[in-house]
A and B are shown apart, each in its own frame.
Chain A
Amino acid sequence: MVSLEPDFRVAVERIAGPEGVVAEPEQLRTYECDALTGHRAVPELVLLPGTADQVRELVAACSRHRVPFVARGAGTGLSGGALPVADGVVISLARLDRVLEVDVDRGVAVVEPGVTNLEITRAVAAEGFFYAPDPSSQQVCTIGGNVAENSGGAHCLKYGFTVNHVLAADVVLPTGELVTVSRSDPGPDLLGVFVGSEGTLGIAVRITVRVMRVPETVRTLLAGFATIDAAGDAVSHVIAAGILPSAIELMDELSLEAVEAAVAPGYPEGARAVLIVELDGPAPQVAEDAAAVERICREAGAFELRAAEDAEERARIWRGRKSAFAAMGRISRSYYVQDGVVPRTRLPEVLRRIGELAGEHGLRTASVFHAGDGNLHPLVLYDEDVPGEAERAQELATAILDACIDAGGSITGEHGVGVDKVCSMPKLFGADDLAVMARLRAAFDPSGIANPGKVLPTPRLCGEAPGPYRVHPLERAGLGERL
């Protein structure tokens, strides 16, 4: 390990103050991973700036001393995007946690990066507004992390992703310069490039997001099917019929077993697959779409259909879905989550293929996912105490991603590439594609100090195999989930 120069240490303490620098080995270990717990590295220092200006000065010091830095929000990321670099520093944005401005008449909120996703909605809820992207970790994950990952969520089927809801950001570039990137800038959409760049192009220190009017009506439907194929067909037909639900979520037999054991949401008895379809908007629109969705589900073979009559019933339906990942502990010691995407018409075929692959690897998979946009979250179940199972789980997870790529899909829909999928990037993109992406990165970060080793593959990285998954402390505490 390369030790940091004493000069650098002096410089960052002068900027952030002694309370803003963590150097105790025990405290540093708190930051050794994000929610992708199989990858760990202890940073040299953790820096906790209290202002945007301090972030800028700290990054400038990193740039001067060529010290790699990794920005971190709540550490709930699932792809290792906030995994520290062993000879670098972590810059935590946790102390930049103020809502700076709310103006619902303009439909905007201006916040610091450490504000949680749900706090934005709380800040505008009294006026009947909300912030639309809703990753499952929204109680704890930060908007800065959402911007870095271009986070999605169950309702992005209708409302789009973080990138569709961020209007401007003040960004500290890896060179230490502070720039504002905005939807109204002339020239290339650098804001759009920055959102989803996984901390490799800079650190957002002030973010303007769009907030929206809460829809007039919400209707949640629950449909039980005898096979996952039938449920997958229903999804394809809903999309093809031109209906745009706010969410379509699918759970397979094994995940139903797990949630029934954990939270008993009372899903249709005997169902081997369950669809949750949520519609929102003007009441007559919702009524008409709900009737069409019910008809399509019945035609696809749904044997039980139920509509939530009130907010409480809707919450019960969602409770099962949202507890699914945590509930896996009931049926498996460990699991590994994937985030592949396939064209929606290919869903039934890819789900079958995943079943076959699981059989070939002698492992079980559970599927709980955002079916409406083809974003699969297959959970590969394994027991790390059984010799070889963790490795087989990793192989199966990779084979599943390959199947998604073969079907014309992608390796990640919302969790990001991070370190987790960096070695699958060459399967999705050619050498020229990756070289051009590297050119873009170098224009922002000529010294290569911003989150090195993430997003774009390097030969050194892709020779090494990652470790097995472990339960994250946040997850154990019931604060975070993997989906």
Chain B
Amino acid sequence: MASVSEPATVAEAAEVLRSAGSVSIDRPGGDVVLSTARLNRVLEHEPGDLTAIVEAGIRLSELQAALAPHGQMLALDPPGDPTVGACLAADLSGPRRHRYGAMRDLAIGVTVVLADGTVASSGGKVVKNVAGYDLGKLFSGSRGRLGLIARVALRLHPRPAASATVVVRTDDPRAAWRGLHRSALVPAAADLLPPDRLALLFEGAEAAVARQVAQVQSDHDSAGPVWGLSPDTSVPGDGRGLPPGTSVWGECAARQARGAAVAFEWQECLLARPGPGLAWVEGAPERAWPPLAERVRAAFDPEGVLV
């Protein structure tokens, strides 16, 4: 029977890793399940620098709540309410990846614990830094197999003054995307909901948001009213099986959560995010790591402690 260990410090986490036979991080599988539930503090937040250092077990909702009073956010909106560590370990992202990138683009420093208990950091808390190898990138997508992500330093963004979602219907998604991509519009998110809807999020100064929404509306047939020339309002979607009042972004999140991400090449999919080139398809098999990644894993965890 597996035991669950909930270290409250990085040193305790290192001790758990050093002494256990096999360990799985925040999921079942190992003799010891290492939970990051108690590694959940905001260690530092410097509003003037738009940076924060957090422990990896903090939930996104908790982090956003701590940042909101300062008018700041982590510009990441994956489905559900994952921990910051999970966001990096699985390189999660949501619709606003179109503008802000994924977790790997927002992590400016990490502290990790390897299977042998070695604690190592890279990066730092400045937004521009090329000193040494970027372990934050290495641990992005590492899914708990290279070590524990214990702390993450984050690049933050200001919360936009205004935001609005506009959903348009299109018979020709390719042409709609091509037109958008070649236009001067700067959406924060642009999701294709097959078969025929394109959802756009605009953020920024109110006048800039209003003008871009107006331009989209004059170019396309609307698929519903425009919602939210102020933050946090939502669009009622027509998503199948979703509760009434679900926003189109809620529908995107539901479709994203149902599928697995693959490279977007205009294939049949639940949801497409053409900007970063991602599509979510149902039943896509999990792909094996390439041999070079396995070589790095063997160097970081030669005994195969992490499962």
Contacts and interface: CB of A to CB of B under 8 A. Distances in A.
A, B assembled together:
yes
Interface of A: 104-107, 127-128, 149-150, 152, 156, 160-161, 163-164, 167, 173, 179, 181, 183-190, 192-193, 196-197, 213, 215-216, 236, 239-244, 281-285, 287-289, 341-345, 370, 373-375, 408-417, 421, 425, 428-430, 432-437, 439-444, 455-456
B130 A417 contact: yes
Nearest to A241: B158
Given A189-B104, A213-B184, A282-B208, 7 more contacts: A127-B182, A186-B288, A190-B293, A281-B208, A287-B207, A434-B132, A444-B295
Contacts, number: 236
B24 interface: no
Chain A CB within 10 A, most for which of B71, B91, B130, B276: B130
Can you list the 8 inter-chain pairs with the closest CB atoms, starting with the nearest? A242-B158, A192-B137, A285-B208, A187-B289, A216-B184, A284-B207, A436-B120, A345-B48
B126 A414 contact: no
A281 B146 contact: no
A190 B292 contact: yes
B50 interface: yes
A240 B141 contact: no
A187 B290 contact: yes
Given A187-B289, A412-B130, A240 B48 contact: yes
B23 to A, nearest CB: 18
Contacts of B276: 183
B101 A186 contact: no
Contacts of B50: 239, 344
A411 B48 contact: no
A16 to B, nearest CB: 26
B293 to A, nearest CB: 4
B27 interface: no
B127 interface: yes
B184 to A, nearest CB: 4
Contact of B132 (A107, A184, A341, A417): A417
A410 B290 contact: no
A246 to B, nearest CB: 12
A444 B133 CA distance: 12
Nearest to A286: B208
A192 to B, nearest CB: 3
Contacts of B121: 429-430, 433
Contacts of A434: 132
Contacts of A411: 131
A413 B208 contact: no
B186 interface: yes
B173 interface: no
B242 interface: no
A53 to B, nearest CB: 19
Contacts of A441: 133
Contacts of A242: 71-72, 158-159
Contacts of B112: 436
A105 B300 CA distance: 40
Given A179-B292, A281-B186, A410-B124, A189 B205 contact: no
Contact of B114 (A287, A370, A429, A436): A436
B118 interface: yes
B133 A289 contact: no
B47 A240 contact: yes
B128 interface: yes
A284 B211 contact: yes
A285 B126 CA distance: 27
Interface string B50-71: 1100000000000000000001
B299 interface: yes
B134 interface: yes
A284 B137 contact: no
Contacts of B232: none
Contact of B141 (A187, A215, A241, A432): A187
12 contacts: A163-B134, A184-B278, A186-B293, A188-B296, A192-B134, A341-B126, A343-B126, A345-B49, A370-B128, A436-B118, A440-B296, A455-B132
B236 interface: no
A239 B49 contact: yes
Interface in B75-110: 91, 101, 104-105
Given A193-B133, A240-B48, A409 B120 contact: no
B130 A150 contact: yes
Nearest to B123: A410
B70 to A, nearest CB: 9
B239 interface: no
A164 B105 CA distance: 7
A201 to B, nearest CB: 8
Given A192-B104, A345-B46, A417 B207 contact: no
A189 B137 contact: yes
A164 B299 CA distance: 27
A31 B257 CA distance: 53
Interface string B165-189: 0000000000000100111111000
A340 B112 CA distance: 25
A105 B265 CA distance: 12
Nearest to A161: B128
